[in-house]
Structure 1
Amino acid sequence: MDLDLDGVQKVHAIAVPRVGGVGIAIAVAIALTVGSVLNPSAPQTQALLLLICSLPAFLSGLVEDLTKRVSPRVRLITSMIAALLACFLLEAVVERVGLSYVDALLVYLPCSIFFTVLSVSGLVHAINIIDGMNGLASVVAILILSSIGIVAAQVGDHLVVNMAIVVIAAIAGFLTWNYPVSRIFLGDGGAYFIGFIVAELLVLLVARTGLARWNRIANLLLPSAQGTNLGRQIAGY
C-alpha cells in the first residue's frame, strides 16, 4: 500500500496498493505461454526469453513496492543486469546509431554492450519517473508501444509486433483500474517492467531489421531520456 499522501508526486487522498505491475506481468506471461503452446516458433520463444530477462528489474521494483527498503542504486543495478541478460540471450545489442564517430566505438562489443545497457536502464527509470499521476505512465507506454508496433509491422518483425500488442492489452486492462480514479498503482515493479519491455523492443527492432533512421532516433533518445535521473540513482537518493 502507498501510505505516503504528502509526497511531491502524490495526488491520492487514501492509501492505494502499488502492485499493479504484478497483474500486467502475469497477463503478459500467460498470453506468451499460451501463444508458445498454440504456435511454437522462434518468435514465441524469444518473447518468453525477453520476459525472463525482465525479471531482475521487475522483482527489484516489486520488492521496493512491498518493503520500501530497496535502494535506488540496487534498482539501477538490477535494471542493468536485466539489459545485460537481453544482450546475451537475445543478442539485443546496439551496434550502430548512424553517427560515424559513435559507430566507430560501437564496432567493439564491450562498447556496444555498455551503450545498450546504459540506454535500456535509462528508459526503464524514465518510465518510473513519470508514474506519478493517474494513467500517465500507462497512456505514454501505450502510445510508445503502438508506434513501435506499427513500425515493426511495416518491416515484418513479428516478434516485436506480437510483444507490443500483448503488452498494450495488459496495460489497457490495468488502466481501467488506474484512471480516472486509482484503485491500484503501477508501482516501481510495473514501471520497470513496462520500461524494460519498451526499451528492449526498440533495441530489438533496430538490431533485427537494421532500420537506419529509426536506429538513429531511438538510440539517441534512449540514453538521454533519463540521464539526470541516472545520476540520482547512482548517488543513491
Structure 2
Amino acid sequence: MAVRSWAVRRNALALPSERCSHTIPTPHGGGIAIAVISIILGILFSVLDWVPDPSMMAFISLGFIMLALGVWDDFGDVSPKLRLFAHFVVVGIGMWSIPRLPVFTLFGLEVDSAVAFLLWPLLVLSWVWLINLYNFMDGIDGLAAIQALLLFGGMACNFWYLGYVEWTWICLFILAAVLGFTILNWPPAKIFMGDGGSGFLGFIIGFMMLLSASQTDASLWSWIILLTLFISDATVTLVTRVLTGQNPLQAHNLHAYQKLSRRFGRHKPVTLGYGGVMFFVLVPVSMMANVIPHSGSVLFLLVLLPACVFMIHAGAGKTESGHV
C-alpha cells in the first residue's frame, strides 16, 4: 500500500499501450515491495543458516541489481540491449555463486550439468529467458502474481513431502512476500507489478531453482512443470511471431492470455483459469516428478504439449487478422 501511495503521488502511472491489456492509467511499481521483502528474507535465510552464505550474498546483491534495473526501466528508459546485457551478467554471476550445478534426469539418463560444460550456455540462456518471459507474461491483472503464489506454494508442498523443512519455509516466506502485492493486483488491479517486480521474480525463481537442486534431492523438473503455462504461452507467441515475419523486439499484446482477456472482456476469468490449471493439474504433476523417480522430463512433455496446442488454438502470436 505504501508503494501505491508513493506511485500515485509521483504520478507514476502505467498508461495503456500496445503491450498492456489495461484501459485506464494505473500506478505501477508494486513489485518493488516484493523485491525488498525478498532481499530482507535472503538475509534471514543466511542468518538461520538455511542456505550457504556466499549464495545468499550473491542473491542479495544481484537481487538489488535486478530491482534497480527494473525500477530504472519502469520510471526511466533503459536500452533493450543494455537490459539484456545486464541480465546475462547477473545470471552468469548467479550461476557462479551456486555451490553445485544440478544433476537432472532426461528421459531416464542422468546429466550432471556441473561437468557437462556445453550445458552451461544453455542454463544461462534458459535463466535469461525465464527473466524475460516473466516480464512478458505480466500483462493482465493478477496473472504474474498468481503464478508466483502457486509456484512457491507448489514447491513448498514438494519440499514438505521430501522432508526438507527449511526449504518448505523458504518457499512459504517468499509466497507471503508476493501475497500482499496480489491483494492489490487482483482484478481490477489497484497497482501493477512493473519490471522491477516481474524481472526480479524471474531472477529469484531461477536462482532458487538451481540453489535448491544443489542442496536437496527435489526434482528440477518440478519447478519447470509449475512454469508450464508461462513457458508455453511466451514460447508459442515468440515462435509464431518470428515465423509470420513480425519483429520479435516490437511491443505487442498477442500472448494467448491477452487474447483470451479480450474475448472475455475482463481479466479475472483468465487469471482464475491459469491459476486453476496450476492448482489442479500442474501442482499434482510437479509432485509426481518427486514421487516417481526419473519421471520429470516425461511428465513435463505430457503437460507442455497440450498447453502449447491450447496456446496455438488461442491464437498466440498471431495478429488479429491472422497474418502480418
The secondary structure found in structure 1 opposite 2:13 is: coil
Letter in 2 for 1:26: V
The secondary structure found in structure 1 opposite 2:51 is: helix
What residue in structure 2 maps to residue 63 of structure 1? 72
Q: Is there any run of 5+ residues in structure 1 with no aligned partner, and where?
A: none
Aligned 8 A contact 2:39 2:64 in 1:
no
The secondary structure found in structure 2 opposite 1:177 is: helix
CA drift of 1:22 comes to 1.2
The structure-2 alpha-carbon separation of the partners of 1:121 and 1:35, relative to structure 1 and needing over 3 Å to count, comes to closer
The structure-2 alpha-carbon separation of the partners of 1:34 and 1:11, relative to structure 1 and needing over 3 Å to count, comes to same
Q: Distance in 2 between matches of 1:159 and 1:229?
A: 37
What residue in structure 1 maps to residue 24 of structure 2? 13
Give the one of 209, 213, 220 matched to 1:215.
Answer: 220
CA RMSD of aligned residues (A): 3.3
CA drift of 1:201 comes to 2.0
Q: How many residues get paired?
A: 229
Q: Distance in 1 between matches of 2:201 and 2:89?
A: 16
The secondary structure found in structure 2 opposite 1:103 is: strand
Aligned 8 A contact 2:43 2:60 in 1:
no
CA drift of 1:85 comes to 1.8
Aligned 8 A contact 1:28 1:167 in 2:
yes
TM-score of the aligned structures, taking structure 2 as reference length: 0.60
Residue 174 in 1 paired to residue 185 in 2?
A: no
CA drift of 1:28 comes to 2.0
The structure-2 alpha-carbon separation of the partners of 1:152 and 1:170, relative to structure 1 and needing over 3 Å to count, comes to same
Letter in 1 for 2:118: C
Q: Distance in 2 between matches of 1:150 and 1:36?
A: 22
Q: Distance in 2 between matches of 1:208 and 1:35?
A: 14
CA drift of 1:139 comes to 0.5
Q: Distance in 1 between matches of 2:125 and 2:40?
A: 30
The structure-2 alpha-carbon separation of the partners of 1:92 and 1:166, relative to structure 1 and needing over 3 Å to count, comes to farther
Residue 194 in 1 paired to residue 201 in 2?
A: yes
What residue in structure 1 maps to residue 256 of structure 2? none
CA drift of 1:54 comes to 2.6
Give the one of 54, 77, 81 matched to 1:73.
Answer: 81
TM-score of the aligned structures, taking structure 1 as reference length: 0.78
Greater share of residues in helix: 1
Q: How does 1:1-237 map to 2 (within 5 A)?
A: 1-14=12-25, 16-34=26-44, 36=46, 39=48, 41-43=49-51, 45=53, 46-67=55-76, 69-91=77-99, 93-99=101-107, 103=111, 106=113, 108=115, 110-158=117-165, 160-211=167-218, 214-216=219-221, 218=223, 225=231, 226-227=234-235, 229=238, 236-237=249-250
Q: Is there any run of 5+ residues in structure 2 with no aligned partner, and where?
A: 1-11, 251-324
Q: Distance in 1 between matches of 2:84 and 2:14?
A: 24
CA drift of 1:76 comes to 2.6
Letter in 2 for 1:192: G
**Structure index of larger Rg:** 2
Give percent identity, aligned residues only.
21
Q: Distance in 1 between matches of 2:151 and 2:210?
A: 13
Aligned 8 A contact 2:29 2:194 in 1:
yes
CA drift of 1:158 comes to 4.7
